[in-house]
């Protein structure tokens, strides 16, 4: 005699009641078990050759919100022709529509379909409708009712050719949608039928050890259910990337596709790379505590690796060095250059890259840097945000090359169809657009 668990016995009994063949959904309703429990038992029964599981790809039909409304109230054209018949077979369009209770957006739809189905004659000069007879219920109406009344999902494969044509028509009218779904059908085998006839024995098993079983010693005589690692589990909906992080990842991928290499660096930076190397004077308002975050401990970093560069920048700030500029004309502090801050922009990464021994010429670099500023927080400002930074390094580059890169960025990343450049002013770049 075959030994079964209680749920397996339930599934076999439900299959027998459903004439030996049923979908998982039908078995769930019949057995009152969860979908995971049904599939778990079904796999075990299949291993014992008591059932067969068939997977079928089916196109399932489902009513839209508008389709549900028309299934309940009747198609607009049916409501309109019924109203005309109530007036004795002749009525003005506006009166018939009012009597039919048609919303404004459905009046012309109803009129069009009564003409297409040849239910009504319409005189456009007098806006009069005439009906020669009350039309019988057509296949599209019957299908809507079938979808409303059926407790099961309806598959296209179970429809007649006439009904399939109606599905396409209703789909174009946006009254229903279709979706492909894999349906699993369980079939009772001859061995399964024999097991039911002979009365399969239900095994008394427990799925979990309890303190009571251990204390009383009953665990020694209790049969524990074997753990099936291949059994299906409850449906899960895995997490997705946070939308903004997904967007940043998309920007990163697009820039790499455009031939850019990524620049990376730490969030804590020296004032030298964040300000001085970019020709921002040491008394600039952006360097006040209201404009940047200063690190409390330690206060200063090390710029010893860049001693020569620091001296060149020092002279440029003080007197212009050999750049042709007159400089800012103030005594530059190398101590202030070592002051540690949270980077306020991503351009410090470009400055470091230009000084790197690994710099390649020609080359293109980008960064997506998290930057920090003590902003007043509102719907468009946070104290930390991401900034895209990029540099192109080569000889004989000009403004046209820059516009080409910006245009490509707009097309590939921002999804622009057209691009227009407008001259503008920025204090650190000239010319600017």
Between 24-31 and 35-47, two packed helices, what is the crossing angle to 10 degrees?
Answer: 110
Amino acid 231: pLDDT: 64
Is 55 inside a domain boundary?
no
Q: Say if residue 263 is in the same domain as residue 148.
A: no
Helix/strand/coil percentages in the chain, nearest 5: 45, 20, 35
Is 8 inside a domain boundary?
no
Q: Say if residue 403 is in the same domain as residue 391.
A: no
Residue 222: is it exposed, middle or buried by C-beta count within 10 angstroms (0-12/13-18/19+)?
middle
Q: What is the pLDDT along the chain (433 residues), one digit of tens a residue?
A: 567 777 888 888 888 888 888 888 888 888 888 888 888 888 888 888 888 988 888 888 999 999 999 999 999 999 999 999 999 999 999 999 999 999 988 999 999 999 999 999 998 889 899 987 888 999 999 999 888 887 677 888 888 999 999 999 999 999 999 988 888 888 888 888 888 777 655 556 666 778 888 888 888 877 776 776 776 666 777 888 899 999 999 999 989 988 999 999 999 999 999 999 999 999 999 999 999 999 999 999 999 999 999 999 999 999 999 999 999 999 999 999 999 999 999 999 999 999 999 999 999 999 999 999 999 999 988 999 999 999 999 999 999 999 998 898 888 888 888 999 999 998 777 888 8
Is 301 inside a domain boundary?
yes
CATH number of the domain to which 151 belongs: 1.10.10
Q: Say if residue 348 is in the same domain as residue 259.
A: yes
Is 428 inside a domain boundary?
yes
C-alpha closest to that of 60 among 144, 182, 169, 150: 182
Q: Say if residue 274 is in the same domain as residue 155.
A: no
In which domain, by residue range, is 137 found? 65-169
Is 60 inside a domain boundary?
no
Q: Say if residue 327 is in the same domain as residue 418.
A: no
Is 131 inside a domain boundary?
yes
Q: Say if residue 160 is in the same domain as residue 259.
A: no
Asked which of 101, 135, 169 is the last residue of a domain, the reply is 169
Is 423 inside a domain boundary?
yes
Q: Say if residue 382 is in the same domain as residue 338.
A: yes
Amino acid 2: pLDDT: 66
How far is it between the farthest Cα atoms of the chain? 105
Asked which of 133, 153, 169 is the last residue of a domain, the reply is 169
Q: Say if residue 252 is in the same domain as residue 153.
A: no
Q: Say if residue 346 is in the same domain as residue 427.
A: no
Asked which of 142, 169, 196 is the last residue of a domain, the reply is 169
Q: Say if residue 126 is in the same domain as residue 165.
A: yes
Amino acid 323: pLDDT: 92
Instruction: Count structural domains, the chain.
Output: 3
Q: Say if residue 332 is in the same domain as residue 431.
A: no
Beta bridge partners of 187: 21, 52
**Phi and psi dihedrals of 50, rounded to 5?**
-95, -25
Cα–Cα dist 364/254, whole Å: 13
Is 219 inside a domain boundary?
no
CATH number of the domain to which 340 belongs: 3.30.930.10
Q: Say if residue 408 is in the same domain as residue 316.
A: no
């Amino acid at each position: 005699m075959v030994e079964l668990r209680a749920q397996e016995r339930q599934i076999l009994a439900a299959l027998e009641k459903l004439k030996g063949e049923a979908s998982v959904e039908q078995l769930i309703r019949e057995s009152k078990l969860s979908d995971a429990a049904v599939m778990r038992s079904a796999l075990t029964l299949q291993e014992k050759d008591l059932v067969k599981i068939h997977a079928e790809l089916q196109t399932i039909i489902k009513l839209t919100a508008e389709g549900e409304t028309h299934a309940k109230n009747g198609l607009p054209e049916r409501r309109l022709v019924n109203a005309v018949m109530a007036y004795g077979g002749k009525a003005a369009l506006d009166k018939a529509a009012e009597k039919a209770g048609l919303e404004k957006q459905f009046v012309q739809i109803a009129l069009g379909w009564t003409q297409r189905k040849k239910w009504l004659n319409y005189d456009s000069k007098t806006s009069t409708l005439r009906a020669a007879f009350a039309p019988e219920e057509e296949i599209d109406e019957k299908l809507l009712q079938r979808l409303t009344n059926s407790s099961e999902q309806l598959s296209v494969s179970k429809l007649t050719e006439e009904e399939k044509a109606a599905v396409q028509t209703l789909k174009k009218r946006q009254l229903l949608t279709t979706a492909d779904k894999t349906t699993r059908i369980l079939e009772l085998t001859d061995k399964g039928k024999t097991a039911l006839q002979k009365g399969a024995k239900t095994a008394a098993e427990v799925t979990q050890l309890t303190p009571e079983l251990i204390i009383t010693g009953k665990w020694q005589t209790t049969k524990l259910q074997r753990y099936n690692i291949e059994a299906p589990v409850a449906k899960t909906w895995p997490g997705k990337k946070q939308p903004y992080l997904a967007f940043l990842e998309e920007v990163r991928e697009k820039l790499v596709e455009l031939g850019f290499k990524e620049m990376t660096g730490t969030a804590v930076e020296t004032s030298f790379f964040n300000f001085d190397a970019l020709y921002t004077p040491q008394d600039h308002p952006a360097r006040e505590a209201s404009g940047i975050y200063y690190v409390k401990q330690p206060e200063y970093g090390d710029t010893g690796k860049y001693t020569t560069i620091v001296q060149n920048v020092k002279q440029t700030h003080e007197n212009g060095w050999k750049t042709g500029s007159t400089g800012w004309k103030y005594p530059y502090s190398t101590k202030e250059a070592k002051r540690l801050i949270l980077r306020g922009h991503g351009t410090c990464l470009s400055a470091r890259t230009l000084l790197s021994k690994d710099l390649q010429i020609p080359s293109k670099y980008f960064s997506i840097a998290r930057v920090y500023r003590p902003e007043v927080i509102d719907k468009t400002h946070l104290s930390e945000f991401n900034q895209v930074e990029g540099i192109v390094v080569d000889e004989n580059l000009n403004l046209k090359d820059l516009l080409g890169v910006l245009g490509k960025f707009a097309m590939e990343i921002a999804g622009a169809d057209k691009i227009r450049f407008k001259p503008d002013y920025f204090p650190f770049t000239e010319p600017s657009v």
